[in-house]
Structure 1
Amino acid sequence: MTKEAFFQLTDKVKEGTANDAELELYNQYFNYFQVLEAWDEETMGVEDVRGQLLYESIDRAIGAPVPVRKLNTGWKKFVTVAAAVLLLAGSAVFFVYQQGQPAEQILSSINVASASTNDLIQLPDGSTVILSAGSQLKYASSFEGKAVREVFLTGKAFFDVKHRSNQPFIVRTGKVNTQVLGTAFDVDSRNERITVTVIRGKVVVNKGGQTLGTLTPNKQVVYNIAADQATLHDTDAEKTVAWREQDLVFKDITFDNAAVLLQERFDVKVIIGDKRLGQQHFTTTLFENQSLEDFLTLICDFNNAVYQYDEITKHVTIKPKN
């Protein structure tokens, strides 16, 4: 998107004249950053002055200079979105350079989990990822027409991958790649080592042309980056991924994908009684100690739905309100 087109988009959103497609595009950019709720003048400067300086800096980085415009009290939202575009492009180019990937593989989606909560993310193919607090995941906005589905992880994440026999799924963590067709596994690339743990299915972990391990459930490979050495272990995979039980932010997730996570977390069977409701998206937070009933009430009220819970069969049925 050019600078001029970006300015036009933000102006339309501000004026309330943006159509659905433009609003979706705006929201995609805006989701890359968390907007500051309060402005600290002591550490960040006078709001209007700092806003103008940020605007000019972003303007120079995006393209050729344009006439300086005075920013009103809504400048923070504009600068945040503009910065998202700028930093998104910068991060993608830097990452491509580091990985030695061709320019056409520049990534268009970045998710960064907050420092205190995990994020539940839905990928373009319907696969889901629980991104650990403080971690980052980069991927293309669509996997269609690509030989592989690839994502780039910094930090820690749990992946539940949709099966596609003709399109492998690859998690890239530095020089180590984890490849699957459809499975559930955990990848931790923190602390100068890369650990891959399999919950179900089969995973192949490699570095360059060398296979570090072919893993099945309750198997784990640990690669020490400094020593350039990998070791294989038996492990209790469920204990390894227990961190998923912490506070979890659902980011633009469908009911169908949320149902899978709720089934695992609360040991119930979730039935979505309407196809359209199953594809409906929502964003909210499931807290570590929150009960199933409280969470169901929250998401159903927000999405004009109702639920029934059978304590004997442990079946939850969710359907639209009549």
Structure 2
Amino acid sequence: MNHASLSAAELDAITDAAAHWCMRLHAEDCTAAERTAFEQWRSAHPLHAEEYQAMREIWATADHLPRPELAPVVPFPVKPAARSRALRHYAAAAAITLLALPAGAWIGWEEGWLPNSYEHFESSTAMSQVTLGDGSQVELNLGTELRFMNFKDERRVTLVKGEAFFKVQHDSQHPFVVRAGSGQTKVTGTQFNVWKYQDQVKVTLVEGSVLVTSDASDTGSGYRLGPGMQAVYHKGDYEPILSQTYAHDTSLAWRNGKLILDNVTLDQALPLINRYLEKPLRLADGSTGHVRISGIYNTTEVKRLISNLPKVLPVYLTQDKQGNTVLNRIALPPAKG
């Protein structure tokens, strides 16, 4: 199968997800909803099933490995120096064996490609605050999912979806990296926000400094942000777009449970609205996207906002074949003359 269209960051994310699902499906508290979500993930792309099968095989192997009292050495069929896709299989899957084997002085840990801890966090209908294994504090917006792995040479977070505010525990020798979409944000200790919607990512820095790149595979470069700056990138961008936030920027209003739309077009508002909806709101055409909207809304009541839009904007609602709500602009009458 040709996977040339997928970036290194996307391949890593799939391997990471496969390891996560392998652990969850073997856990006693795995729910029916999680199993349904797994089936949806596995069928979404042929590579998902391929990666998951590799994880199952390694899980089965780990089950038969001896459990010595001394720290074990786990043999890998790929040399540590070879950073091939096969190595990603074994490096990610080795995290699974942490459940089956005692912790110790792993060869993988010493080489820097095996984490010594793995954590998964998810918020659905309520915001939450969590503490990562390194002591860093994270606030999760509604509908957010992230994973944390601690490697010898870096602390790594994968923001699967949603939005999170990070207060990173300072460690100059142990960088903190957040992977989101096609890029990543790298820090040693600071406060910043990362929002991911589809293939768009926005990083907002509050305190300290961060290094942002739109291509996570290019680890040797990036753009440094200072406090009050933002970086936005999409998949395929050569570099992120940098900007300075204004005095009344509303990017972090979600931390107070608010969605603030300050005279923005519906084109700009939809990504901010859709992150709180199970089914995305759509625009009928380009002219509808030019309609402007303002207002302050509770993030837990965004569904009510949709039904009220025709009361405050020149639009009406329809549904497409997928059951998504569609906004249609009401045409203005022709000018008399």
TM-score w.r.t. the length of structure 2 is 0.41
Structure-1-length-normalised TM-score: 0.43
